[in-house]
Chain A
């Protein structure tokens, strides 16, 4: 029994409002069975928030509701809220929602003190009859203003509060505040009310540099943690949408190691395999540096994989983008036709950055997009002050991270303002995972596009500037000519490369020539060697012949002398004797 209790208690402590963002700020909704004070200036959206709370209660929480209208007539309220699609009239018919018109009549005559006892009695019956769990007192200040003094006002507020607590109704009391929120809010009896209630929410609507900015702040919330900062909100087509930054734990929830192609092969190589799934990619560059082309290439590649993609273009019409990208061989129209790609053109003239973020989020949700392209995100800085657009950009990245959506956004750099190396106007470059910078290089009367990767978290990436070449075949990246400390692109690169080629050829020919010459010389020497060898052999033969001839001559001589002696007969002695005598 005891172990079940905590979860039960937890279940019932919050009454969800169904407002995206608001339930996150408050950790689940308004305090269940308690009173919430909603304070805001004229047109700040008090009634809308209160109605949405009731409508959500009926439609999703099985909690019928009562709306006590002190200011506007219920008919007008229902009619005004019709555009949000909550079907209030239908809910009223089914007795799930009840509007009590409690506007003080103009001909009301006042004589002395009075109280709200009658209304509470009537409401009690009504609440019992329909089993109401939620109640809204809209513009309570109207009726409080009728009360003669502060003490009476306090007494009636207290009465109302006690009544709400006794019946365990989740209540919203809305109050008007003047233009200056901080001043009027602390005035009695609203100040008193703020201390009394369990939760207080302040709505703010102001103009910043001519752009409407709405924000909401939870001032107090008894017994619950909440986001204490001002959160921008928007009243969109389906009611309130509160912009809220994801808490850290959520942003870190999904991290993927999957790589997806950037749509340009060479860029993938430079990035060591492509973008990370769920990463935020920023492409900066001056106008005309082919930022949109990279977006298009990415979108096309995503669609080819069958991933639903949302392409938001701010400065150009989407059909123009499709046509223009066709010239570099990126075909988006067929993916638009088969529904994989959704192109949205949003002119950056109207609406605050907040509006855009909320719309983009809604569209992405509706399209179930896995990849989102925003071109250019810097268009946001046109609308509203830098501070708010900055926080919008932060939240955009937070959101895409939380959803696991791969986000590619471009940022236009103003050439005139002379930003060095593309410090992006919206300082989101610090937040993104991959930052690709496109630049022009002016050389010899030519403008050439260069691409470099400024950073890419968690991936090895090339440090080289590549030349970007756009042709009907698509986007290609070429190595720049970087020898000798020079970086050359375009025609200069081509010329330099050609000159190098020619020089190389000439050197080759010269070498060939020398080889031929050497071959000839070698051959000549070989020939000479052979003839000398032949001569040598001839000489040797001659020499041998000479020796033989000399020997035979000698023998002939001595033989000849003996013969002559014999012929003369002078001495018959043996030659040996004769020789020793003479």
Chain B
């Protein structure tokens, strides 16, 4: 996989709930640190667009869908552990 691949995130948040606010900040910080200039973040507020949450089966907030590169991954939580994120996105091997 090209190191320059574009990462597309869709972050579902529940209004300005503390967990959701944390997740927005954490994701932004993570991308700045690890994926500079190759990320897109879409933020969906489930309070405003509940139909989208229903359609995507988003029941736990915050949830981030990693839409690209494939496969689609689903990460739940405030995204406070960057190591988990790095492993999930394949940016780091678990043995290293």
Contact digits for B41-79, partner A, Cβ 8 Å, 1 yes 0 no: 000001100110110011111110000000001111111
Q: A102-B57, A109-B75 are in contact. Are A117 and B15 (CB under 8 A)?
A: yes
A111 touches B59 (CB 8 A): no
Q: Please tell me if the beta carbons of A116 and B59 are within 8 angstroms of each other in the complex.
A: yes
Whether, in the assembled complex, A119 has its beta carbon less than 8 Å from a beta carbon of chain B, the answer is yes
Among B19, B50, B75, max chain A CB count under 10 A is at B50
Please report the C-alpha to C-alpha distance between residue A208 and residue B13 in the assembled complex, in whole angstroms: 51
Which of A121-129, A231-239, A263-271, A462-470 lies at the binding interface?
A: A121-129
Q: Which residue of A lies closest to B20 (CB)?
A: A117
Chain A residue with minimal CB distance to B73? A109
- Residue of A whose beta carbon sits closest to that of B75: A109
Complex Cα gap A49–B96 (Å) = 51
Q: Is the CB of A114 within 8 A of B78?
A: yes
B60 touches A114 (CB 8 A): yes
State whether A112 touches B77 (Cβ < 8 A).
Answer: yes
Tell me whether B35 is interfacial, beta carbon within 8 Å: no
Docked complex Cα distance between A111 and B19 (Å): 11
Does B31 make an interface contact (CB < 8 A)?
no
Inter-chain contact B50/A122, CB cutoff 8 Å: yes
Residues in B with CB closer than 8 Å to A100 are 54, 59
Q: A109-B88, A143-B60 are known contacts. Are A118 and B14 too (CB-CB below 8 A)?
A: yes
Flag whether B28 is at the interface (Cβ < 8 A): no
Do B63 and A118 have beta carbons less than 8 Å apart? yes
Contact of A113 among B50, B53, B57, B80 (CB under 8 A): B80
Interface membership of A564, Cβ < 8 A: no
B76 x A108 contact (CB < 8 A):
yes
B46: A residues at CB distance < 8 A: 117-118, 121-122
Give complex CA distance A200, B76 in Å.
31
Point out which of A102, A109, A143 has the most chain B C-beta atoms below 10 A from its C-beta.
A109
CB nearest neighbor in B for A68: B59
- Residues of A in contact (CB 8 Å), total 25
The distance in angstroms between the C-alpha atoms of A101 and B26, with both chains bound, is: 29
Per the 8 Å Cβ criterion, residues 90-119 of A in contact with B are 100-102, 104-105, 107-119
Q: How many Å lie between the Cα of A118 and that of B20 in the bound state?
A: 10
Complex partner residue of A114 from B50, B53, B77, CB under 8 angstroms = B77
Count chain A CB atoms within 10 A of each CB in B15, B53, B59 and give the residue with the most. Answer: B59
Select which of A101, A109, A111, A118 is within 8 A of B53 by beta carbon.
A118
Q: Are A111 and B14 in contact (CB under 8 A)?
A: no
Partner of B61, one of A107, A110, A117, A125: A117
Residues on the A chain within 8 Å of B57, using CB: 101-102
Shortest distance between the CB of B91 and any CB in chain A (Å): 14
Task: Name the distance in Å between B53's Cβ and chain A's nearest Cβ.
Answer: 5
A118-B12, A125-B51, A126-B54 as given contacts; A113 in contact with B60, CB under 8 Å: no
In the complex, what distance in Å separates the CA atom of A441 from the CA atom of B17?
Answer: 86
Which residue in B22, B58, B73, B88 is a CB contact (below 8 Å) of A112?
Answer: B22
Cα distance, A121 to B85, chains bound together (Å): 26
Write the nearest CB–CB distance from B18 to chain A, whole angstroms: 9
Separation of A126 and B46 alpha carbons in the complex (Å): 13
Point out the residues of chain B lying under 8 angstroms from A109, CB to CB: 73-76, 84, 88
Given A121-B50, A122-B46, verify A111-B61 contact (CB < 8 Å): no
**Ordered nearest first, which 5 A-B pairs have the shortest CB separation?**
A117-B14, A112-B78, A119-B59, A112-B77, A118-B61
B contacts, CB < 8 Å to A: 12, 14-15, 17, 19-20, 22-23, 26, 46-47, 50-51, 53-54, 57-63, 73-81, 84-85, 88
Given contacts A110-B76, A111-B85, A112-B81, 15 further A-B contacts (CB under 8 A): A100-B59, A107-B74, A109-B74, A109-B76, A111-B88, A112-B19, A112-B26, A112-B78, A114-B19, A114-B63, A114-B76, A118-B60, A119-B58, A121-B53, A146-B60
Q: Enumerate chain A interface residues (CB-CB to B < 8 A).
A: 100-102, 104-105, 107-119, 121-122, 124-126, 143, 146
7 CB contacts below 8 A, A to B, read A109-B84, A112-B22, A113-B19, A117-B14, A117-B61, A118-B58, A121-B50
